Structure 1
Amino acid sequence: MATKKLRRSAMLGRVVAATATLGLVAGLAACGSDSTSSNPTTDSPTASDISGELNILVSSADASDKAFGEVVDAFNAKYPNAKATLNSVPNDTYPTTKSAQLTAGKVDIFVVKTFREMPDYAVDSTSEDVQLAQSGGLLDLTDEAFMKNYTPSVLDSQAIGGRQFAVPTGNSYVTGLYYNKKIFADNGIEAPTTWTELQSAVSTLEGAGVTAFGIGGKDTWPAGLVMNGVVGGLYPTAADKQALTDSLWDQSASLDSGVPLEVLQKTQWVFDHAQKNFSGAGYDDMPAAFANGDFAILPDGTWNQPTIDTAVAGAFEYGYIPFPASDNAADNKYLNGKIELQLGVSAATKNKDAALAFLDLFSSKDVYTKFVATSGFSSAQPDIEQSEFLNSITDITSQFEPVWESIWIANANAGDAAAYPFNYPALKPLGSDDAAAAAAAANSAWTAAF
């Protein structure tokens, strides 16, 4: 599912949690292996090389649980002298369970969370798992041969100090638009690649009596997919997004002028051309409405494609394109995404060989291909056979560009209006503001934090 942006209370909780784990980090580093850099894997280990128990902890989701279970079964079949066990726990209890199992030395491989390096000005927001990596609590996987299987731009986005401490299990893409090819063809419209082309397409649709966009705004966050799409076109690269974050934190940029204001203006434009009363529409109702032809374009992520496909049931063909927020088509070339579950290895593992053998097997082409097929994730490796839909969008996912939410760093001292910081929940009909008023409120809340 899509990641909901952390609000102020969540950010405060994360900072407290990170601080509380400093003792745990130090303890794990002390009892870990002699070096946090493991030796490069040159050959896949044989069955006789690997033995003992291997405990794997993941946060629960039906599809990924099944996919991990298949890998565990494959591992146990390949290495009969070893015994890998999968422990899946609910997302809300995962952090405490993980901390307890790490402290007790009962986990070898586990899912790491919020795995990104923070700049100096936001060091207090560093996650506990990044602290583990920085303090020697995670094995350094950089030189392991299996890491070469993964797309370099994906690895770049999760590097800590230029090193790799986790295996990326897959990606989800956030900033795409599903569009009804039949409606487009019936009205002589090509898939838009620029903002001007999108505006023209919407004008043609509405002239024919067709509602342009469908948004499930009842839970607010689905409307945030539009905001993320706009940001993706106006700030197309990770460097662009990071530069904006830096400039907001050093207050050399403001949220109520220039391109930041344009983000809200273009988000409001989409809201203005969505179905009536979308603020009361549920996210789960959108696939059926799209299938029914209630609107022509649905902003949604790749994770929801199986549901959309089931709803459409072959009634028409649909396509998927990056949100074309810029008038420079090159800026709209790639979808923006997030890395899904990432697997790290505790430096305190008592079975390092088995842990590395598991990740080596996981990363092998056959096993990984089956994993992404079962989990529904988009591949974090190149040249992997995926579903027909995911194969159809490889040209717009070949370069991994992180979504805004994975770059932006909220300030725990700022008000809710600056949480994203683009204040899309204040825009009509979710709220009562126009773009200028919403941007002014965001800027006021942001500057008041300094």
Structure 2
Amino acid sequence: MWALNDQTILKQSVDAYNKDHPDAKITLRLFANDDYKQKLRVAFGANQAPDLFFNWGGGALNDYVKAGKVDALTTSEVNTARYTPSVMQSATFDGKVYGVPANGLAPVVLYYNKKVLADAGVKPPKTYDDPLVAVKKLKAKDFVPLSLAENSKWPTLMYLEYLLDRAGSAEVFSKIASSDSSVWKDPSVTKANQYLQDLSEAGAFGDNASSVNYDQGSSTALLYTGKAAIEVMGTWEYANIAKAAPDKTAARAIAPSVWSRTASGRDRPGSSGRECAAARPRTTADRKQEKSTAQSRAVRRGHRPDARAPDSNSLDSADGNSHRHPASP
């Protein structure tokens, strides 16, 4: 089984499973975010993919499905009724299920450094316009207004997801997730990109965002060391901050908030859906077997854990709500 190195709860689940199944143990390998994506592609290309692997669902998983690299799960292998239908959408293609939730839904929030905002005379942001207004004050005090790991690419996508969710609607997201290319012409897509461009042109991300990498902890460090004021990130970031700077979380020096509204007036917090695809690569032997038996399995027998990992992303956004994005990093 392959997964990300921040999934500590998953490791505990695998350890518990191995203890109960000594004759069919799971070997868990954990990777850094960006490295993981490349290693997974290479492994599938070389027909050496893992039996079970973590994936974000949506297009990232569907690429492997279209290429015939993973098998669908059967009703005897997973009880989909346990999960909210909307959650299963990102791992369901052509009516077949290729993954089950592993880490739950993680709201995407704005973390802010209380002292930095106070020193600059800025209040915690509640609307899209607030950071724009605060940029000049924060830059005047030599703070980076918004810490962004642009070098890792996907953190920038979070902004687009977040802003499109408010400029457009959940329906726009659903159509994009279903590969409806016509939706890219929706005015809300242009508006969301304009919001992001306005932030960039205002200098909200500082001068070195393109060299900031998330896996190295750079964007996180800018926030808790007091060099940046705000960071947009999933709730898993709280655990990273608590590990790197426990004094900051203990003293509640870092707090979460949300952009409750954009100029369009839409009100909906963001989130990042995370799925775990339970699958194995299909081999030539598999295809021969399928022709004769019309049967396929999602993983090797004896290698599927009975228990699923609980949600390790427990920090709620300020208003306690969440909305699943069909695409995530």
TM-score, with length taken from structure 1: 0.53
Q: Return the index of the structure with the highest Cα Rg.
A: 1
Q: Secondary structure at the match of 1:170?
A: strand
Q: How many Å separate the matches in 1 of 2:87 and 2:102?
A: 11
Alignment-derived partner of residue 169 in structure 1: 102
Matched, 1:181 2:114: yes
Matched, 1:270 2:204: no
Higher relative contact order (CA 8 A, sep 6+): 2
Matches within 5 A, 1:18-417: 58-64=1-7, 67-79=9-21, 82-86=23-27, 88=29, 91=36, 92-95=38-41, 97=43, 100=47, 109-111=51-53, 115-116=57-58, 127-130=63-66, 132=68, 137-141=71-75, 144-145=78-79, 147-171=80-104, 173=106, 175-184=108-117, 187=121, 189-192=123-126, 194-200=127-133, 202=135, 212-218=145-151, 222-237=155-170, 239-243=171-175, 249-250=181-182, 253=185, 258-271=187-200, 272-274=202-204, 276-279=206-209, 281-283=211-213, 284-309=217-242, 310-311=244-245, 313-314=247-248, 316-324=252-260, 326-327=262-263, 331-344=266-279, 347-348=296-297, 352=301, 354=302, 358=305, 361-363=306-308, 368-369=309-310, 372-373=311-312, 378=313, 386=314, 390-391=315-316, 395-397=320-322, 399-403=323-327
Q: How many Å separate the matches in 2 of 1:253 and 1:280?
A: 27
Q: Secondary structure at the match of 2:278?
A: strand
**Alpha-carbon distance change, 274 to 196 in structure 1, aligned in 2, over 3 angstroms:** closer
**Alpha-carbon distance change, 73 to 260 in structure 1, aligned in 2, over 3 angstroms:** closer
TM-score, with length taken from structure 2: 0.69
**Alpha-carbon distance change, 332 to 278 in structure 1, aligned in 2, over 3 angstroms:** farther
Alignment-derived partner of residue 290 in structure 2: none
What is the letter of the counterpart of residue 52 of structure 2?
A: F
Q: How many Å separate the matches in 1 of 2:133 and 2:179?
A: 33
For the 8 Å contact 1:334–1:400, the answer to whether it is kept is no
Q: How many Å separate the matches in 2 of 1:349 and 1:273?
A: 48
**Alpha-carbon distance change, 101 to 177 in structure 1, aligned in 2, over 3 angstroms:** same
Q: Which runs of 5+ in 1 are unaligned?
A: 1-57, 119-124, 379-385, 407-450
How far is the alpha carbon of 1:168 from its aligned partner?
Answer: 1.8
What is the letter of the counterpart of residue 19 of structure 2?
A: A
Alignment-derived partner of residue 292 in structure 2: none
For the 8 Å contact 1:172–1:302, the answer to whether it is kept is no
The CA deviation string for residues 189-238 of structure 1, in whole angstroms up to 9 with x for no partner, is 2540x33444455566568886532334455554444334322322341x
How far is the alpha carbon of 1:167 from its aligned partner?
Answer: 1.6
What is the letter of the counterpart of residue 83 of structure 1?
A: A
What is the letter of the counterpart of residue 47 of structure 2?
A: A
The CA deviation string for residues 150-188 of structure 1, in whole angstroms up to 9 with x for no partner, is 344311332223443322212575853211234556747
How far is the alpha carbon of 1:325 from its aligned partner?
Answer: 6.0
How far is the alpha carbon of 1:245 from its aligned partner?
Answer: 7.7
The two structures, once aligned, show a CA RMSD in angstroms of 4.3
Q: How many Å separate the matches in 1 of 2:207 and 2:15?
A: 48
How far is the alpha carbon of 1:240 from its aligned partner?
Answer: 0.8
For the 8 Å contact 2:3–2:30, the answer to whether it is kept is yes
The CA deviation string for residues 123-174 of structure 1, in whole angstroms up to 9 with x for no partner, is xx9523356599xx433248844x3443443113322234433222125758
**Higher helix proportion, which one?**
1
How far is the alpha carbon of 1:275 from its aligned partner?
Answer: 5.4
For the 8 Å contact 2:108–2:232, the answer to whether it is kept is yes
Percentage of pairs with the same residue: 16
Q: How many Å separate the matches in 2 of 1:77 and 1:393?
A: 39
Q: Which runs of 5+ in 2 are unaligned?
A: 283-295
Q: How many Å separate the matches in 2 of 1:68 and 1:316?
A: 27
**Alpha-carbon distance change, 196 to 280 in structure 1, aligned in 2, over 3 angstroms:** closer
Q: Which moved more, 1:170-179 or 1:282-291?
A: 170-179
Q: Secondary structure at the match of 2:263?
A: coil
Q: How many Å separate the matches in 2 of 1:260 and 1:391?
A: 27
What is the letter of the counterpart of residue 86 of structure 1?
A: T
